[in-house]
A and B are shown apart, each in its own frame.
Chain A
Amino acid sequence: MSTTAVESGTQTAGQTPLLAVDGVTLQYKTRDHLVTATYRVSFDVFPADRFVLLGPSGCGKSTLLKGVGGFMKPVEDLVTREGAVIESPGPDRMMVFQEFDQLMPWKTVLANVMFPMRVSRAFPRNEILDRAMAAIEKVGLTKFRDIHPHMLSGGMKQRVAIARAMAMEPDILLMDEPYAALDALTRRQMQEELLQLWEDTRFAVLFVTHSIEEAIIIGSRILVLSPHPGRVKAELNAHQFTHTEQGSTEFMALNRRIHNMLFAERIEAEALQRESDHA
């Protein structure tokens, strides 16, 4: 338990965390191994946080997000949301996945956005259509609302997924490398749009990425994880950076700092990997 210290920084004193991850160890089984994905990871997400989980592949960041989402149970200690232990997936924690097939191909864009609102019964029936329309408007897809997802480009599909999640007004939005499968130009545009959406509605988002740049641009706070198993390497502030500062010295300095943290880890990990291969 060395990394629970919350720097005061931008947080207003006395605010309680929206989500508390406290010494969480997550394990999953493959066909012949029990893999420890994260080991005693702790962090707090506050309202309006843009909290980024950053790390190389194999650091358990996606697994951690699944733990928060309630898709898997930690073997050690708890993930809590406002004091209640998270045990199963629920619409208060909407998830946006990396894969494009998260949209239901048998539903139009509009029906896709309406679907979680309908089945979770979180909103009165007569409000659902208006809410869905508003969410689609926000991501700029009003023209495409009666189209089936297979006609949309990758970026548009991710926009629909974001609109679908936002329409539910979740306490916290979980995003699992949502832009990793997009081309660079679209990705940048999507990042800007997400920040604009955040400006408008100030939701809390837990964002997983393996790109340092994306972490600095999207995040207000970055949790750097080391691989095999994932442990907290650092928790950094990045709320001052957006696309406009991308070339600035401070931006580059933070980028280099994180890079060195991860790179040192990677050399270590590769050496270990070589050893175990030889063994």
Chain B
Amino acid sequence: MPEARSKLLPPLRPEVENTSLESGQIGEVQRPLSAWERLVNLDWVRRVAILVILALAWELYGRYLDNPLMVPTFSNMVAALWDATVHGPLLDRIYTSIRVLLIGYVSGVGLAAVFTALAVSTRIGTDLLSTLTAMFNPLPAIALLPLALLWFGLGVPSLVFVIIHSVLWAVALNTHSGFLSVSETMRMAGQNYGLRGVRFVVHVLMPAAFPAILAGLKIGWAFAWRTLIAAELVFGVSSRSGGLGWFIFENRNQLETAYVFAGLTAVIIIGLLVESVIFRNIEIRTVRKWGMQH
């Protein structure tokens, strides 16, 4: 076999050169998709479909169980949500929660910026940040609540304290690792134009690390929101103008289960809105448009 192989030559074929190229049998090179295909391609259509199915299942199960104390039906929950929004205190509660949340979130992000600035400019700052992050990032914010209550008493300052704790480390960690992952070429290009110090950070590092920064902000937001609701559940009882967590707690105490579900739904809706309206729009306008994320 090897001897025969070593002498084997491919057949000599005539050369071919096409002067005119046709697309032939296939005909259309591009074909528009059918209406159904286009509809199914839309993300929100598929998601809404899932929501509708879940709501239906809930409604059917609720009716089958017929025990509004344990599981109210979906329509009961919608009625309760409507009632609490229009006549009840729900909007007030939401406002209180979001106000506290924003104070905590903005302070947390600001502190994270300070820490990250320290970390990029000095080596001891880097060590400080990585040590603190390693220590505090795994520590659930809610575990600090007893201490916060001791230091700041019942009220907004304690809530803000635990929210800052939940936001700060996640955002600082992401931003810092985003800065570190900016390519050497990009750094050199920036230095080439004579950019130094703060201008370098603002013009080169921050936009180049923006995908990581945005991811940090999203994670921070989710952490803050969770921490807030949990903290309100724990001591919203004694605060005068409670937030959403207090709304849920209060209604559970009064066995208004439909209102408990309404409160939970409000938490979900706000979370979804922030995620899919605010953060999504920032994403579309920045990292997606820039081709840094798909």
Q: Which B residues between 112 and 132 are near A, CB-CB below 8 angstroms?
A: none
Contacts of B286 in A (CB 8 A): 106
> Chain B, interface size: which category?
20 to 34
**A85-108 vs B, Cβ < 8 Å mask (1 yes, 0 no):** 000111101110101011011100
CB distance from A67 to the nearest CB of B (A): 13
Q: Is the interface of B mostly helix, strand, loop or mixed?
A: helix
B185 and A97: CB pair below 8 A?
yes
From known contacts A91-B192, A148-B290, infer whether A101 and B186 are also in contact, taking CB-CB under 8 Å.
yes
Q: Which of A66, A93, A97, A120 meets B189, CB within 8 Å? A: A97
Contact B291 A149 (CB under 8 A): yes
Residue-wise interface mask of B (213-246) relative to A, using a CB-CB cutoff of 8 A (1 in contact, 0 not): 0000000000000000000000000000000000
Q: Which of B185, B188, B203, B292 touches A119 (beta carbons < 8 Å)?
A: B203
Contact check, A106 vs B193: say whether CB atoms are below 8 A apart: no
If A101-B186, A119-B203 touch, whether A71 touches B193 (CB-CB below 8 Å) is no
A106 and B195 CA atoms in complex are apart in Å by: 17
Cross-chain contact B290 with A105 (CB below 8 angstroms): yes
Q: Enumerate chain A residues within 8 angstroms of B192, measured Cβ to Cβ.
A: 69, 89-91, 93-95, 116
- Distance in angstroms from A61 CB to nearest chain B CB is 16
Contact of A71 with B203 in the complex, beta carbons under 8 Å: no
Nearest B residue (CB) for A161: B189
Does A203 reach chain B (CB closer than 8 Å)? no
A105 contacts B194, C-beta separation under 8 Å: no
| B189 nearest in chain A by CB position | A102
- Residues in A whose Cβ lies below 8 Å from that of B191: 71, 88-89
Complex: chain A residue closest to B206, CB-CB = A106
A257 within 8 A of B: no
Interface string of A148-182 (1 = CB under 8 A from B): 11110000000000000000000000000000000
**Out of A91, A101, A149, which one reaches B185, CB within 8 Å?**
A101
- Identity of the chain B residue whose Cβ is nearest the Cβ of A105 in the assembled complex: B290
A89-B194, A99-B183 known; A105-B292 Cβ under 8 A: yes
Distance A90 CA – B188 CA, assembled complex (angstroms) = 10
Q: A97-B189, A99-B183, A101-B185 are in contact. Are A106 and B194 (CB under 8 A)?
A: no
Within 8 A of A (CB), among B274-294: 286, 289-292
Q: Is the CB of A104 within 8 A of B291?
A: no
The answer to the question of B168 belonging to the interface, with a C-beta cut-off of 8 Å to chain A, is no
Which of B185, B195, B199: most chain A CB closer than 10 A? B185
> Is the Cβ of B185 less than 8 Å from the Cβ of A115?
no
Q: Counting CB contacts under 8 A, is B208 at the interface?
A: yes
Q: Please encode chain A, from 235 to 263, with 1 for each CB lying within 8 Å of some chain B CB and 0 for all others.
A: 00000000000000000000000000000
Q: Inside 8 A of A69's CB, which chain B residues have their CB? A: 188, 192
Interface residues of B in 243-294 (CB under 8 A from A): 286, 289-292
Chain B residue with Cβ nearest A150? B291
Take A89-B194, A91-B193 as given contacts and tell me if A106 and B188 are in contact as well, using a CB distance cutoff of 8 Å.
no
- Chain B residues with CB under 8 A of A151: 291
Contact A148 B183 (CB under 8 A): no
Knowing A91-B193, A106-B207 are in contact, say whether A148-B188 is a contact too (CB < 8 A): no
**B:41-68 near A, CB below 8 Å:** none
B11 smallest CB distance to A (angstroms): 30
* Other A-B pairs, 13, CB within 8 Å; known A97-B188, A104-B204: A69-B192, A71-B188, A71-B191, A88-B191, A90-B192, A91-B193, A99-B183, A104-B207, A105-B208, A106-B290, A115-B193, A116-B192, A119-B195
What residues make up the interface of B, taking CB atoms closer than 8 Å to A?
A: 183, 185-186, 188-189, 191-195, 199, 203-204, 207-208, 210, 286, 289-292
- What are 12 A-B residue pairs whose CB atoms fall within 8 Å in the complex? A66-B188, A69-B188, A69-B192, A88-B191, A90-B192, A99-B185, A104-B189, A106-B210, A106-B290, A115-B203, A119-B194, A150-B290
